Structure 1
Amino acid sequence: MLQDPKLMAAVSKIIQRSERQEDVQKLMGTYVDIGLLPQLNNENHQIFYGRRGTGKTHVMKVLESKLREGMNNTVVYIDCRTLGSTSQFSNTDLPMSRRCLSLFRDILLNIHHELFEHIVECPSKNANTARDEVEGLASLITEPLEKLKAEHVSVEAQASFTNEYGAGAKLKGMVPTMDFNGKHSEANAESTKKEYSVDYEDKIVFPELHRVLSSVLKSAETRLYVLIDEWSSIPQDIQPYLAEFLKKGVLPITAATLKISALEYRCRFVEVKSGNLVGFELGADIATAPDLDDYFVYDRNPEQITDIYSEVLLKHLLAELPENYLSDKFSISTPNQLASRLFTERKICSELARASEGVMRDLINIFTKAFFNAQRRNRTSIDKQAVIESAQQWFEQDKAQYLDDLLQSVLRRIVDEVIGKRQARSFMLPRHLEKNEVIQKMFDARVLHHMQRGYADKDNPGVRYNIYAIDYGTYVDLLGTSRQPELDLEEDRAGLDFIVPFDDKRSIRRIVMDENILSESMG
């Protein structure tokens, strides 16, 4: 089976990053819904998290496609890595307001473009009005604010004076008569001359933006959805201020909805400045949706995760193969059949699911490597050796080389303590330490994985713990040896040395780490 040319070509063509897939139908066809999409397909402002490679962009792209199916929707998808039409936003020598304004203006220009397209392609009964208003929106976005400034004031005074007098004599009868006449006038005039200059201020007037954008949406009879992907690629010092701009410019508009995807530990949505909050107040201004990482924890439900990953692989292969190719030639038409026939047995597919540690990109990469590993060894299906060797290779290529000396040292201490001394693969850490920079970096690097958040240990009341699992790649070389850690959770084994973190009563060893193991001085 692994020697089939078309199957080999299909495996090699699987695109490992959703943003590189230009075919919308393939994006839709390869998506496996785990229950997150229905929670995002609504009119609420939301942020959802997920580590790199968990499928955030795939979710956003599918959500975009679903929303575009609504004739009255205008959907704006923005990849933050493409923002920054000028270099201003990354120049720390410039004022924060100017850096942030350049990014916000890029977002507004994307909104303007999509609104214009919608008005042309789906005209409402007030399309002409909407078109005029959207042109006004463009001016509001791009043109600086004009202000008249008095530069010089001069006063000119004018005065005039007139005095005329006359006298005459004449005889009236025998009596002489004298006549006197006179005229007197004064005039004063004063004129003021002012000279002005035009001062240009680069700013967005939010009340006017709110008025114009609301009017455009009403005239166009459309609802605006703004989907912002890769938020964490924006410099962290700008993020709270850009959030503040969005809070003032988009969130108050009734007919607009904002969705953001981000890395949980690589984003700053709020900052306290002079006693005031700048940015989003999470829960009040914008809600947080479920974390993608929480959906793919292998230990919570191994069978379900294996089924989901089998379906993901099947859909990706079907997208690259001729129609009915797998079913006609190999009698594979369901995820279970793929797990049993493409692999030597289903439990090898489960091993691949475990090795992926809940990260979809790791699943695709390890699977691709395992396929060609087994193919080179003339195997008819993927065996355990192929999965183990590929997982080890992927760990060294994609994870280990990006750990600095401190992270390498801390990881080694954790591995020595958890795997070396206790032959386990998970440990507990007081929840307040999840914000420790070392833990955040190791979690982002995908060498530590959440098994459960906020676990309450009955023997330590009042203290909440996060339970972490150590990455498969750190102990893959120990598999099959006497030093292999316990891989599967113990059934009903509660006691002093064990805890029960899941509802099905399966237990893991109670191994509690403290802040000392994260200390640089221990290295």
Structure 2
Amino acid sequence: MVTGNGAVSFIASFRKQSQFDGQHFKRIGNVEFNVHEIKSMAASLNISLSPEVTGNGESTKETQTTSQQLKYISFSEMSEVMTHFFESINVDRLFFLIDEWSEIPIQIQPLLAELLKRAFITLKITIKIAAIPNRTRLMLDNRTGLEDGGDIFGHQLDYRFIYELHPDVTKKFFNELLYNQLSLINKSLFKPFFEQSLSQPNQSFINVFLANQALREILIASAGIPRDFLSIFINAYTNFVNRNTTQKHMALTDIRTATVAWYEVDKKKAVESNQNAKIMLDKIIKEIILDKKSCHFLIPEKYETNTILNDLIDLRIIHLRKRGISHKGNKGVPYNVYYLDYACYTSSNVYHNKINSNLLNDIETVDDFREIRRISLEEKFFDSLNAELGNSFRCSHCNMMVDITHAAYIKQKICNHCYEKVE
């Protein structure tokens, strides 16, 4: 709360001209005064031997005030208010954090970004926006909004704790996360594992609970997401205790069973409510998990904007692991590496009749992407998917399937292969 005469005075002066109801700024428009003269007459009749009629009239004036309220935002006034605000509370810089930006309708995002720019760009305010890349649009073609690299600078957080790329950094982060969470339960119990000289837990703390193979598995399966890591860990520990084993550490089977349980609770319902995403997922499960017994696979970079693929990424079923990797059988074409949550097989239509109980033991997770350079989803896969969804037709020029969700077709009605005009 701001106190002091200075703060009160500038806010009061601003309110003389404007109103803020918690959602909208309103500026009071011109005030007009109208004077209406109201005439009235009263009469009475006295009936008697000498009838008498009396009457009187009076005139009153009534003043009416009308005002017009114009809804708008004055950026100059807002800037002035914020400047005085900084002076009143004696701060050098204010940090403005916006989370869940991608929940804003994408067509509105550039307009809101433009408002933020106009309101705060000249002030000592740092704006940080947390957003999902493929569901975010900060600028329109006419340059309305925030320009990446000019007005705002993006930083990818999704790739920071990828075990396949940064094993040591990832292990250190989740080692500390696990220690902090368990210390909240019983700090004295875990205090011996804290190194006072380094102000951090012992790097082998996480190994107290997890065997090496299980540790590698949980760091890959959680895909760098703390919530997923903790949920899988809790379920895996429950499995470990219920097995009543003589082993001292959680094993690979505990992690994989826990991963399936977490998928059932957190992700399955969302996947099955998105029909197109489920159709694509079924096809990926068949080609990658059933046929290749793998979780990692490649997709040509040109498909990274595919709407359904990005839906599965948003649902945390598929995770982008690395961009720009080569393919042994298709030189010169850049590919992206993706990781598929293998627990998603429980959402598959082929689950009950084709997936046996040994599948979890047969699946391979890798930490060297060179091992998967022949496991990929190619153009044939996406053509088949689009045909199944009714999102394609055959081009009369090149005889290839035109993807009607591709930007080339949406904007100019041209084939996304030969770039000829199609109907």
The TM-score, its normalising length taken from structure 1, stands at 0.57
Contact 1:251–1:258, Cα closer than 8 Å, also in 2: no
Amino acid at match of 1:372: T
| Aligned equivalent of 2:208 | 341
1:303-326 Cα deviation digits (max 9, x unpaired): 54234322211121113313x312
Paired position in structure 1 for 2:321 = 451
Aligned to 1:310: 175
In 2, the alpha carbon distance for the partners of 1:457 and 1:374 equals: 40
CA contact (8 A) 1:424 1:509 kept: no
Alpha-carbon distance, 1:239 to partner: 2.2
C-alpha distance in 2 between matches for 1:305 and 1:235? 33
Counterparts of 2:101 and 2:359, CA distance in 1 = 43
Partner of 2:364: helix, strand, or coil? coil
Check 1:447–1:213 CA distance in 2 against 1; reply closer, same or farther (3 A cut).
same
How far apart are the structure 1 equivalents of 2:356 and 2:374?
A: 19
1:257-406 map, 5 Å: 257-272=126-141, 276-289=142-155, 291-322=156-187, 324-327=188-191, 334-343=201-210, 345-379=211-245, 381-403=249-271, 404-406=274-276
CA distance in 2, matches of 1:372, 1:332: 25
Among 357, 365, 376, which residue is 1:487 paired with?
Answer: 365
Aligned pairs (5 A) from 1:395-474: 395-403=263-271, 404-455=274-325, 463-474=333-344
Stretches of structure 2 lacking an aligned partner (at least 5 in a row): 35-63, 196-200, 347-354, 391-423
Distance 1:489 1:137 in 2: 60
- Residues 148 and 196 in structure 1, CA contact (< 8 A), matched pair in contact too: no
Partners of 1:478 and 1:484 within 8 A in 2: no
Distance, in Å, in 1 between the alignment partners of 2:158 and 2:357 is 25
CA 1:292–1:233 in structure 2 vs 1: closer, same or farther (change >3 Å)?
A: same
Contact 2:256 2:360 (C-alpha < 8 Å) held by counterparts:
no
For structure 1, the residue ranges without an aligned partner over 5 or more in a row are: 1-116, 121-126, 153-194, 491-498, 501-505
Deviations 1:468-511 (A, max 9, x none): 12113246987965982432255xxxxxxxx74xxxxx664352
CA distance in 2, matches of 1:375, 1:422: 33
Q: Secondary structure at the match of 1:519?
A: helix
Q: Aligned to 1:452, what secondary structure does the other structure show?
A: strand
- What's 1:209 paired with? 78
- Identify the residue that residue 44 of structure 1 maps to in structure 2: none
> Partner amino acid for 1:203?
Y
Specify whether residues 347 and 215 from structure 1 end up closer, same or farther in structure 2 by C-alpha distance, changes over 3 A only. same
Task: Give the aligned residue type for 1:402.
Answer: A
What letter matches 2:362 in structure 1? Q
The alignment partner of 1:279 has SS state of coil
- Asked if 2 retains the 8 angstrom alpha-carbon contact of 1:243 and 1:279, the reply is yes
Aligned partners of 1:413 and 1:517 also within 8 Å: no
Q: 1:199 aligns with which of 39, 47, 68?
A: 68
**Is residue 104 of structure 2 the alignment partner of residue 230 of structure 1?**
no
What is the aligned partner in structure 2 of residue 162 from structure 1? none
* SS class of match (1:129): helix
SS in 1 for 2:304: helix
Q: 2:28 aligns to what?
A: 146
Q: Tell me how far apart the structure 2 counterparts of residues 364 and 486 of structure 1 sit (CA, whole Å).
A: 22
Maintained 8 Å contact 2:138/2:146: yes
Q: Distance in 2 between matches of 1:134 and 1:455?
A: 57
CA displacement 1:55-91 (0-9 Å, x = unmatched): xxxxxxxxxxxxxxxxxxxxxxxxxxxxxxxxxxxxx
Contact 1:240 1:278 in 2 (8 A): yes
Equivalent residues of 2:324, 2:334 under 8 A apart: yes
Q: 1:355, CA displacement in angstroms?
A: 2.0
Check whether the contact 2:288–2:375 (CA below 8 A) recurs between aligned residues.
Answer: no
Name the SS of the counterpart of 2:285 in structure 1.
helix
Q: Structure 1 residue 519 and structure 2 residue 386: aligned?
A: yes
Tell me if the contact between 1:137 and 1:213 (Cα under 8 Å) persists in the aligned partners: no
Q: Kindly indicate whether structure 1 or structure 2 has the higher relative contact order, using CA contacts under 8 Å at least 6 residues apart.
A: 1
396 and 454 in structure 1: CA distance in 2 versus 1, 3 angstrom threshold: same
1:509–1:463 CA distance, 2 compared to 1 (3 A): closer
Task: Provide the rounded CA distance (Å) in 1 between the counterparts of 2:357 and 2:159.
Answer: 26
Label 1:374 to 1:355 Cα distance change in 2 as closer, same or farther (>3 A). same
Q: Does 1:129 align with 2:11?
A: no
Q: Percent identity?
A: 26
1:17-96 to 2 correspondences below 5 Å: none
Quote how far apart the aligned CAs of 1:381 are.
4.2
For the residue of structure 2 that corresponds to 1:288, the secondary structure is coil
1-structure distance, mates of 2:254, 2:268: 20
The amino acid across from 2:209 in the alignment is: L
Quote the offset at 1:452 in angstroms: 0.5
The answer to whether the Cα contact below 8 Å between 2:19 and 2:27 also exists between their aligned partners in 1 is no
> Partners in 2 of 1:228 and 1:519 — Cα distance?
36
Q: How many residues align?
A: 337
What letter corresponds to residue 249 of structure 1 in structure 2?
A
**Paired amino acid for 1:446:** R
Distance 1:138 1:151 in 2: 22
Q: Quick one: distance in 2 between partners of 1:486 and 1:269? A: 39
Larger of the two Rg values belongs to structure: 1
- For 2:80, give the aligned amino acid: R
Q: C-alpha separation between the residues in 2 aligned to 1:350 and 1:482?
A: 15
How much has 1:512 moved relative to structure 2?
A: 4.1
When the two structures are superposed, what TM-score results if normalisation uses the length of structure 2? 0.69
Equivalents in 1 of 2:202, 2:386: separation in Å? Answer: 45
